[in-house]
Structure 1
Amino acid sequence: MLYQLYETQRALMEPFAEYAHATSKMLSNPLWPVSQTTAVQRASAGFDLLYRLGKDYEKPAFNINTITAGDHDIAVHERVELTKPFCELRRFKRFSDDPATLTAMKGQPAVLIVAPLSGHYATLLRETVRTMLEGHKVYITDWTNARLVPQSSGEFHLDDYVNYVQDFIRHIQEIYGACHVVSVCQPTVPVLAAVSLMASRGEQTPLSMTMMGGPIDARRSPTAVNNLATTHDIQWFENNVIYPVPANFPGAGRKVYPGFLQHMGFVSMNPDRHAMSHYDYFKDLLKGDEESAEHHRQFYDEYNAVLDMDAAYYLETLKTVFQDFALVKGTWQVRSPEGVAELVRPQDIQYTALLTVEGELDDISGSGQTQAAHDLCTGLKGSGNRHFEVKGAGHYGIFSGKRWRNMVYPVLKDFILAHSELPAKARTVKSTVSKQSNLQTV
């Protein structure tokens, strides 16, 4: 019922938001004689802010059409390479008419970026992708809004997430012979599980895995996110935050954790900060500071665009990661597409270098939660593994903004480059599991 009420309210608000937008444009039209008066400027800014607060935020586009590497502009073509009911594997293919640049790009390592499935779209990592395209072949998991997936496609479980990641890794390794994996926030746990299971089976694993700001061991330095999960049982979450998708969507009837509830949770963590940000936007409009105003729009176009998560996946993640701590306790079993339950054993990983990254001021994944991966991957010996704490960075600062570009990316780039050769002992490892039949090329 709550989801239906929200949709009704959104539908009712939409014409008012559009009216506010049109009014703001009309009042700020320079051809109107009084548009430069203080009263009209304030009214225009007010209507613009009302529009921003009331509009519906749809899934953003990556919009990465060109990048610059060295002295050359490189064209980027985004395409869906593989598709599954709940996820698309996107590739950002680069093109250049400069022979030297083209040769250099062909020799660069392939990287799978596993984006979070925790409320926002994969486009939240747009800057991560753009930066990494300067020196890597880049793929990313683009998770589908569960309300758009018909019930005939079945439920989506945490096990499915792990199996998807394995399929994507195998696909990239089949093309290039090897790959690297970067996981940001929530996917650090299923990515570690995926690589662990591949290692336990004797499959070739990625050359490196980078885990950034994720809850590998959510018992360490618990945050407000962790506390919410541990102060209520699964039944409470199922009764209070799970709702069926309304009839006006393809996934009508599917039980989901709605994106708008997740968004409310995001905002409630720092309500004063968001209120001040909107007030600053209002002042920027009055001052005519279009650059700052556009920065605000771009941020909230991304931040306010949220997706629904299948209820099975959401509840299983809560229980497995934040309540049972099954990964760190060694009790997590993942069911394969064939229905076989396999124990997740990070200690079986031997040939995948590990880099963990944490933000000093991260209020979502607390200090030490990601670093805990090193304690689990006991089969990885030697100086090649590394932990990096980003001074002054919050959660978003480790994958976007100046700290990402100037502090994190150089470390990540050097780490991947240092581990781009398949270890001699691993060269005999052959994939023993074929790609699943439900892997479909687009």
Structure 2
Amino acid sequence: MLYQLHEFQKALLQPVSSWARAASEAFINASNPASKVPGSDRLAASYELLYRLGKDYKKPEFGIRSVMAHGKEVAIHERTAVAKPFCNLVRFKRFSDDVEVIKKLKEDPVVLIVAPLSGHHSTLLRDTVRTLLQDHKVYITDWIDARLVPVEDGEFGLDDYVHYVQEFIRTIGAKDLHVISVCQPTVPTLGAISLMASAGEATPASMIMMGGPIDARKSPTAVNNLADQKSYEWFESHVIYNVPPNYPGAGRRVYPGFLQHTGFIAMNPQNHLQSHWDYFQNLVRGDEQDAEAHIRFYDEYNAVLDLDSKFYLDTIKTVFQDYSLPNGTWKVAGELVKPQDIKKTALLTVEGELDDISGSGQTRSAHALCAGIPKENKDHYEVAGAGHYGIFAGRRWREKVYPKIKTFIREHQNTKKTATRTTKSA
């Protein structure tokens, strides 16, 4: 019922939001007499803020058209390499007409970014992708909103997530691949690579784990405490709802994205109120640069997706209640996950000093679990002054974290590639 009420509220707000946008434009249109009314700038800003608070936020695009690579601007073409019911493996293919640049592009390491499936779209890692494209061939998991997946496509659980990651690694080719997992997927990514190692399969050259709950018992945050204090049955009965009839996934049991979004807002309500007040002030002053920065952030932050209920509940129980991975009891499709079997994959963990989602030590716990990896092939980096988002987006990501990751990847390349022929893409 809650989902239906949310949809009803959205339907009510749409005409109000559209009217607010039209009113805002009227008060800033120089050819409109209304723009000459005293205080029209404040009225326009008020209506614009009302519009943004009430509008429906769609999934943003990555929108990466070009990057600077090897001293030249190269074109980027986004394409789907593998299409699955709940996820697309997306490649950002780089193009150049410069023969020397093409040669260098082809020699760059290959990176798979495993994006979180935790309420926000994979485009939240746009800055991560754009930065990595300067020196790497980049793939990313682009998760699909569960409300758009028909019920006949079946459920999607944590085991399925692990199998998706394995399939993507095999498709790209494990030997020369570097896997970067950000936040929630550190657990299923470690599970996927562990199972591949146990089966005697080739494993990636390196795995880079950033701000994830490998062992959520360490430095528990508000997110960890909520999952630990409520029972599995409470989550099943209080936060799982059926997708309404107006979506392709009608009838699917999901954890709605709007609940996740509400939870994130509730964690720091004062910060969000201040941000919207600052946006209003910027509009009044005509500070377009800061106003645009606010719009870009909230266009991403307010765009959410639903999670299949099985995946959400599996994650709550396995990761945040039973701590199955650090306890050595996690089984995927009946197979025990044994990180100690990983021997040929280098490990880098990254944590933010001020991370309030994955606390200090949670990601670093991977080092003790991966006892089979030689010490010289392990490293840990704590980012001073960085919160959760700061380790994969923004200035600290670009200036501190990325150089560390770039160096680590090159130190653990399995092969030194030499281009034997040139084409116009890499």
Q: How far apart in 2 are the matches of 1:219 and 1:331?
A: 15
Contact 1:207 1:422 in 2 (8 A): no
Partner of 1:227: 225
CA pair 389-38 structure 1, distance change in 2 beyond 3 A: farther
Of residues 317, 326, 329, the one that matches 2:327 is 329
Contact 1:215 1:321 in 2 (8 A): yes
Q: How far apart in 1 are the matches of 2:247 and 2:271?
A: 33
Partner of 1:42: 42
Partner of 1:90: 90
Partner of 1:166: 166
Partner of 1:430: none
Partner of 2:52: 52
Specify the code of the residue in structure 2 equivalent to 1:43: L
Partner of 1:251: 249
Residue 396 of structure 2 corresponds to residue 403 of structure 1: yes
Q: How far apart in 1 are the matches of 2:97 and 2:392?
A: 30
Pairwise mapping of residues 200-211 of structure 1 onto structure 2 (< 5 A)? Answer: 200-211=198-209
Specify the code of the residue in structure 2 equivalent to 1:357: V
TM-score, with structure 2 as normaliser: 0.96
* Deviation digits for residues 86-109 of structure 1 (CA, Å, limit 9, x no counterpart): 000000000001111100000111
Partner of 2:411: 418
CA pair 36-73 structure 1, distance change in 2 beyond 3 A: farther
Q: CA deviation at 1:69?
A: 1.9
Q: How far apart in 2 are the matches of 1:31 and 1:70?
A: 48
Contact 1:88 1:142 in 2 (8 A): yes
Partner of 2:148: 148
Residue 297 of structure 2 corresponds to residue 299 of structure 1: yes
Q: CA deviation at 1:31?
A: 2.0
Q: How far apart in 1 are the matches of 2:212 and 2:96?
A: 36
Contact 1:218 1:226 in 2 (8 A): yes
Of residues 367, 386, 389, the one that matches 1:374 is 367
Q: How far apart in 2 are the matches of 1:302 and 1:277?
A: 15
Partner of 1:431: none
Contact 2:77 2:94 in 1 (8 A): yes
Q: How far apart in 2 are the matches of 1:38 and 1:287?
A: 15
Q: CA deviation at 1:381?
A: 1.3
CA pair 172-283 structure 1, distance change in 2 beyond 3 A: same
Contact 1:281 1:296 in 2 (8 A): yes
CA pair 410-36 structure 1, distance change in 2 beyond 3 A: farther
Q: CA deviation at 1:38?
A: 4.8
Pairwise mapping of residues 97-116 of structure 1 onto structure 2 (< 5 A)? Answer: 97-116=97-116
Q: How far apart in 2 are the matches of 1:53 and 1:222?
A: 32
Q: How far apart in 1 are the matches of 2:36 and 2:278?
A: 20
Q: CA deviation at 1:212?
A: 0.3
Q: How far apart in 1 are the matches of 2:71 and 2:382?
A: 32
Of residues 316, 340, 343, the one that matches 2:336 is 343
Specify the code of the residue in structure 2 equivalent to 1:154: G
Q: How far apart in 2 are the matches of 1:230 and 1:384?
A: 34
Q: CA deviation at 1:71?
A: 3.0
Of residues 335, 354, 357, the one that matches 2:347 is 354
Q: CA deviation at 1:422?
A: 5.3
Partner of 2:379: 386
Partner of 1:3: 3
Specify the code of the residue in structure 2 equivalent to 1:16: V
Specify the code of the residue in structure 2 equivalent to 1:215: P
Q: How far apart in 2 are the matches of 1:384 and 1:229?
A: 33
Q: How far apart in 1 are the matches of 2:7 and 2:281?
A: 31
Specify the code of the residue in structure 1 equivalent to 2:124: L
CA pair 36-366 structure 1, distance change in 2 beyond 3 A: farther
TM-score, with structure 1 as normaliser: 0.93
Partner of 2:424: none
Q: How far apart in 1 are the matches of 2:322 and 2:38?
A: 58
Q: CA deviation at 1:72?
A: 1.1
Q: CA deviation at 1:39?
A: 1.0
Residue 306 of structure 2 corresponds to residue 313 of structure 1: no
Q: How far apart in 2 are the matches of 1:38 and 1:184?
A: 49
Q: How far apart in 1 are the matches of 2:277 and 2:70?
A: 39
CA pair 38-210 structure 1, distance change in 2 beyond 3 A: farther
Q: Which runs of 5+ in 2 are unaligned?
A: 417-426
Q: Compute the RMSD of aligned alpha carbons.
A: 1.1
Q: Which runs of 5+ in 1 are unaligned?
A: 336-340, 424-442
Q: CA deviation at 1:70?
A: 3.9
Specify the code of the residue in structure 2 equivalent to 1:94: R
Specify the code of the residue in structure 1 equivalent to 2:305: L
Q: How far apart in 2 are the matches of 1:115 and 1:190?
A: 11
Residue 174 of structure 2 corresponds to residue 181 of structure 1: no
Contact 1:172 1:178 in 2 (8 A): no
Specify the code of the residue in structure 2 equivalent to 1:92: F
Q: How far apart in 1 are the matches of 2:32 and 2:238?
A: 51
Contact 2:70 2:104 in 1 (8 A): no
Q: How far apart in 1 are the matches of 2:344 and 2:5?
A: 52
Partner of 2:419: none
